[in-house]
């Protein structure tokens, strides 16, 4: 009888030891699984970022090299004006449809002078177009923004 109770105690001990080992091993596997899930999520985010970069590289992209003058050019043209001259490039990998320059200008006193759009047409990949426009104004221009705009669909 004592032998049977010792055997039972030893069997229960081994069962508890086995259960404890399984719990520790299971916890360790859960930690590894969590780390792998985190790595997978990080790699999935990298894939999304790279796909977005690839899509952006496939789009048209306008780059400007423009000179703007708002001051008197010379003695023969001393009147208030806004002059824009230069070039616009499509450095993207697709045609830039309906390319244009959106210009917003303000007088030196802060009031709006004009909002205009200079159409450039459709620019093929690596195509360059010239820009040149002189606009007489009633006052001197103090501030302006020039934004190149296009679409990637006809």
| Whole-angstrom distance, CA of residue 53 vs CA of residue 51 | 5
- For residue 40, the enclosing domain spans 1-57
Residues 72 and 23 in one domain: no
Report which secondary-structure segment, H or E, holds 120: strand 112-123
Q: Which of 57, 76, 97 is the last residue before a domain boundary?
A: 57
Residue 105: beta bridge partners? 114, 144
Q: pLDDT of 93-136, one tens digit each? A: 899 999 999 999 999 999 999 999 999 999 999 999 999 998 88
Tokens standing for residue 37: 């899930």
| pLDDT beyond 80 at 72 | no
Residues 144 and 69 in one domain: yes
Residues 38 and 113 in one domain: no
Average of pLDDT values for 37-52?
Answer: 92
Cα angle value 29/31/34 (rounded, 5°): 110
| Whole-angstrom distance, CA of residue 63 vs CA of residue 91 | 7
Residues 48 and 67 in one domain: no
Give the count of beta carbons closer than 10 Å to the beta carbon of residue 100: 18
For 15, phi then psi, to 5°, come to -65, -45
| pLDDT beyond 80 at 34 | yes
Tokens standing for residue 135: 């606009």
């Amino acid at each position: 009888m004592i032998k049977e109770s010792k055997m039972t105690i030893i069997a229960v001990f081994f069962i508890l030891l086995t259960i404890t080992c399984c719990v520790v091993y299971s916890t360790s596997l859960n930690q590894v699984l969590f780390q792998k899930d985190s790595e997978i999520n990080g790699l999935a985010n990298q894939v999304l970022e790279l796909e977005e970069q690839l899509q952006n590289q496939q789009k048209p992209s306008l780059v400007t090299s423009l000179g703007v003058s708002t001051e008197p050019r010379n003695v023969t043209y001393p009147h208030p004006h806004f002059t824009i001259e230069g070039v616009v490039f499509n450095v993207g990998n697709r045609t830039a449809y309906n390319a244009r320059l959106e210009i917003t200008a303000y007088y030196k006193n802060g009031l709006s002078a004009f909002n205009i759009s200079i159409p450039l047409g459709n620019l093929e990949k690596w195509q360059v177009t010239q820009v040149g426009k002189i606009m007489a104004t009633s006052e001197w221009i103090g501030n302006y923004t020039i934004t190149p705009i296009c679409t990637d669909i006809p």
